[in-house]
Structure 1
Amino acid sequence: MDWNEWHDEYDRPGSGLARRLVAVQERVSAALDAAPAGPLRVISMCAGQGRDLVPVLAEHPRRDDVRARLVELDPANCDLARSAAAAAGLGQVEVVKGDASLTDEYADLAPADLVLACGIFGNLSDDDVRRTIGFFPQLCAEGGTVVWTRHREEPDLVPRIRTWFEENGFALEWVSPPQAGYGVGAHRFTGRPRPLAAGESMFRFLGYDELRRVEGAREHP
């Protein structure tokens, strides 16, 4: 998978990714609107080119309150995210080339007021989706928001994702309807953050082809 080329779908008007991006950006803006006064911390996991956050932050009245870290493995996407942040004058947005699954990437920024987990759950096994959600009480501040995405293809995992968030102390703020053709959700953390475990891997990013093989093996042992 060419993850740089994959982003081209965002620029095709009416595409599923373009519509999903609008929904994600709306949730990001709403979370910033609702955040308490004062400094804010934002984490973006598998951040790609920064499209989920940078364009919103560039126009938002809370922009100067935010310190953000975008973690992305693809170097070309990192360069594009850095360029976008610089062009918007967002000097407090840091782009890190690294493995977004590792807790150590967030050690000095967690717990954050906003955590973005977009483009991740559709590339993980079900067990790793659940495991990753189990780490969000360590990444998210009390009252903070997690914005996430997941496709709605069968078997639709979104209802179980909602349950796993609830089991970890999160309340549903918003979820896209099934007929939207994409899955976007926002959950608010109602518990107290736990210390971030050092040296942990939250998930193994499989990609579409390997994920299909894993799911096929499960269905046909």
Structure 2
Amino acid sequence: MGANEDWYEWHRPYDEPGSPLAARLAVVQRHITDWLDSRPGELLTCVSVCAGQGRDLLGVLEHRDDARRIRARLIESDPRNVAVAEAHIARAGLTGVEVLRADAGQLGNYAGAIPADLVLFAGVLGNVTDSDARSCVAAFPALCAARGTVIWTRTRQPPDLTPSLRGWLAEEGFEELAFEAPPDATYSVGVHRLTVPPRPLTAGRMFTFVR
């Protein structure tokens, strides 16, 4: 992650009602909930990229009676955020969720967690170069299981990359299930499902944080 950002302190606005981060979190959690409800009774896998404190996924699973059918890996490099996520997991009894303290930009750190039915890519695409954003989208078919879903976020502050991201996702074989871009905010949340066969994962680096 970027060396100039304190990614633990970055989470504080999540606790401020009405903040853009809190509003975005609610949208992401709603889509996670909708995804779970759309696949009742299935054993499902999830990977969360640059998971931070895991508030999006953990905040949903802790309130569900069927949380045990989810196997998830949260990949996060900041040790303080890892500790918060691990404490949340223990408190909620989410035995199927693990946190890996590692660089989510390195594809080798996904071994054993992919292909995943759900890939959470929140808070990543606004902190990488446009070239790396394209590389991320190109890697999505290797991260996803068949018919896997990606939930991603990106700011629409100029220059707005979201039109390109949505086009790249279509090129990579994803259908758009939802795209939310509130007129009173700059964040956006996309939900896309893979419609082509998953691809093998290749070694290397997917992205580097620049913020």
**TM-score band, normalised by the shorter chain?**
over 0.9
> Matches of 2:77 and 2:115 in 1, distance apart?
22
* Residue 65 (str. 1) matches residue 69 (str. 2): yes
How far is 1:59 from its partner?
1.6
Report the counterpart of residue 46 of structure 2 in structure 1: 42
Q: Which moved more, 1:42-51 or 1:178-187?
A: 178-187
Tell me, yes or no, if the aligned pair for 2:68 and 2:95 is still in contact at 8 Å: no
Tell me, yes or no, if the aligned pair for 1:29 and 1:60 is still in contact at 8 Å: no
> Matches of 1:105 and 1:40 in 2, distance apart?
19
> Matches of 1:87 and 1:119 in 2, distance apart?
25
Q: Specify the code of the residue in structure 2 equivalent to 1:103.
A: L
Tell me, yes or no, if the aligned pair for 1:71 and 1:96 is still in contact at 8 Å: yes
Structure 1 residues 19, 52: closer, same or farther in 2, change over 3 A? same
> For 1:77-130, what per-residue CA distance to the aligned partner results, in whole angstroms no more than 9, with x for missing partners?
000000001111001110010000111111112110000011100001111101
Q: Specify the code of the residue in structure 1 equivalent to 2:131.
A: D
For residues 117-156 of structure 1, the aligned pairs below 5 Å read: 117-156=121-160
Tell me, yes or no, if the aligned pair for 2:72 and 2:96 is still in contact at 8 Å: yes
Residue among 191, 196, 200 paired with 1:195:
200
Residue among 83, 97, 110 paired with 2:101:
97
State the TM-score, normalized to the length of structure 1: 0.90
> Matches of 1:187 and 1:60 in 2, distance apart?
23
Paired residues in the alignment total 206
Residue among 171, 176, 180 paired with 2:175:
171
How far is 1:144 from its partner?
1.4
Identity of aligned residues (%): 48
Structure 1 residues 36, 64: closer, same or farther in 2, change over 3 A? same
State the TM-score, normalized to the length of structure 2: 0.94
Q: Specify the code of the residue in structure 1 equivalent to 2:197.
A: R
Report the counterpart of residue 107 of structure 1 in structure 2: 111
For structure 1, the 5+ residue unaligned runs are: 208-221
For structure 2, the 5+ residue unaligned runs are: none
Secondary structure of the equivalent of 1:69? strand
Report the counterpart of residue 6 of structure 1 in structure 2: 10
Report the counterpart of residue 164 of structure 2 in structure 1: 160
Report the counterpart of residue 191 of structure 2 in structure 1: 186
> Matches of 1:9 and 1:27 in 2, distance apart?
21
Tell me, yes or no, if the aligned pair for 1:147 and 1:184 is still in contact at 8 Å: yes
Q: Specify the code of the residue in structure 2 equivalent to 1:144.
A: G
Normalized per residue, the structure richer in helix is 1
